[in-house]
Amino acid sequence: MTHQLCIVLDFGGQYNQLIARRVRECGVYCEVKSFKTPIDEIKKLNPSGIIFTGGPNSVYKDDSPHISKEIFELGIPVLGICYGCQLMAYTLGGSVSTCVNSEYGKTNTFYDSSSPLFSDCPELSSQNISWMSHTDFVSNIPDGFRITAHTDNCPVAAMENLQKNLFAVQFHPEVNHTVAGLSIIDNFLKKVCRFCGDWTMQNYAQTAISQIKNKVGDGKVLLALSGGVDSSVAAALLAKAVGNQLTCIFVDHGFMRKNEGDEVEAAFADWDINFVRVNAKEQFMSKLRGVSDPETKRKTIGEEFIRVFEQEAKKIGKVDYLVQGTIYPDVIESGSGDAAVIKSHHNVGGLPDYVDFKEIIEPLRMLFKDEVRQLGIELGLSDVLVWRQPFPGPGLAIRIIGDITDDKLLILQDADFIFRQEIAKANLDRSINQYFAVLTNMRSVGVMGDSRTYDYTLALRGVTTTDFMTADFARIPYDVLESAAARIVNEVKHVNRIVYDITTKPPSTIEWE
């Protein structure tokens, strides 16, 4: 089954992926493409609608992204957002000026409800809040357009040319603060572009399963399972498609959280696949003894991981397909990345070239994280796996500052377990994006009973973030921190002090190493 396609044309704004996610929330399949994509290529993709994203400040700047007028002559409906709105006006002969008063944030907006974008939206009245973020505005609309929304400072908050199916909004309908933002996008997609809205994870699962079946035939498939949501959902999909032609190798390096290795194994126990768990803790520990430098730890674990995987893969013999859990944000972001390496990430998704296989299968390549989760639920994967928070490849090894010992590992596993329990008890486990304990290498004086102690300081970290590139520290209520801290010092030996990390990223990072 092929889906109708919406193209999100990326002009470099900060909300590009958010727009794509909103489109998918409307049941419409979309792909993000660079504004540099040649018009011929766009034609070949045969989209039923195009959305221009926001982007840099001014269309008049030489280095600002532009687009050929031809895009408006394809007969495909276009919705321009923010910079995309200004670009549409500018390219079609209107004009753009700099605001006397820039608008930023929640802005009172007046809508014309006769526009298809703003009609049949019960949540939207003639005056509502929209989210603005602009220093330029459309000062003259192109011929054939009419104004359909304005604010006190922005005469053209929305415009449209109904005959040509061209629409533009200066505000950001993709941001939650815009009242009825999702309905506005939905109106464009369903009323203007006539999308039928058949992009659901149930459809996706059926299509993907039959495509995988056709491709794999009776071949052998290998998957490196980390227990993370991406590789687990990929495994579930492959299991449904090819059953025991699939072998999952789960390398347990011993730095998983408390009970986690067993939980992963249990989650797959009932599936008709070959599941190999390699308990390689001793092998990893022997390489890490005395190592305290974070980068050396990461590299050592990454390399050892590959060695262990290689040994196991060899036992299976030649495989035809290797599965990777690559997801759509990785696809969008790869290629644009010349950012400095802050930490060398180890990820089982990035397995190298040593396993002898014919082809790579990436069944989640087109899905956002929340869609991967929905797919996991659709496939009947357990909650433990579907809602698992991100966990770094090197595991607790990079949450123990300094050298790693068995004792420190136990302390951290127990403390982290209690912290997670308290967060879940307070119903915060889905609103805090990542939370964990770190065993610092510092010891200090305390008093317990009548005796002096000289024990470890444990740090708690909780962050809220959408992309993990930047993060804020989570405002965990004091009473939750208090009960976690009290339980940890009482129940875990050798911890006598707890601190909460209140730094943002940047300048910190989420993990401590």
What residue ranges bind ligand XMP (CB under 6 A)?
A: 343, 345-347, 390, 392-394, 434, 468, 505, 509-511
Which residue type is seen at 188? Answer: F
Strands 166-169 vs 221-224: parallel, antiparallel or unpaired? unpaired
**From the CB of 77, what's the least distance to ligand XMP, in Å?**
38
∠185-40-327 over CA atoms, to 5°?
A: 55
Nearer to ligand XMP, 265 or 511 (CB): 511
Tokens 């299976």, residue located: 316
CB count within 10 Å of CB 286 equals: 9
DSSP, residue by residue, 195-217: ------HHHHHHHHHHHHHHHHT
Nearer to ligand XMP, 311 or 389 (CB): 389
Nearer to ligand XMP, 48 or 324 (CB): 324
**From the CB of 17, what's the least distance to ligand XMP, in Å?**
16
The rounded distance, in Å, linking the Cα atoms of 259 and 236 is 21
Q: What's the Cα-to-Cα distance from 416 to each of 267, 392, 423, 437, 460, rounded to whole Å?
A: 21, 15, 11, 5, 8
Q: How far apart are the first and last CA of the chain?
A: 45
**From the CB of 46, what's the least distance to ligand XMP, in Å?**
36
Selection from 146, 16, 5 nearest residue 81 by Cα: 16
Nearer to ligand XMP, 188 or 391 (CB): 391
**From the CB of 484, what's the least distance to ligand XMP, in Å?**
19
Selection from 368, 346, 304 nearest residue 16 by Cα: 368
Which residues are annotated as catalytic? Answer: 82, 172, 174
Nearer to ligand XMP, 240 or 298 (CB): 298
Nearer to ligand XMP, 169 or 348 (CB): 348
Question: Taking a C-beta distance cutoff of 8 angstroms, is the pair 356, 319 a contact?
Answer: yes
341-373 burial code (b ≥16 CB/10 A, e <16): eeeeebbbbebeeebebeeebbbbebbbbebbb
**From the CB of 298, what's the least distance to ligand XMP, in Å?**
6
**From the CB of 471, what's the least distance to ligand XMP, in Å?**
7
**Beta pairing partners, 196:** none
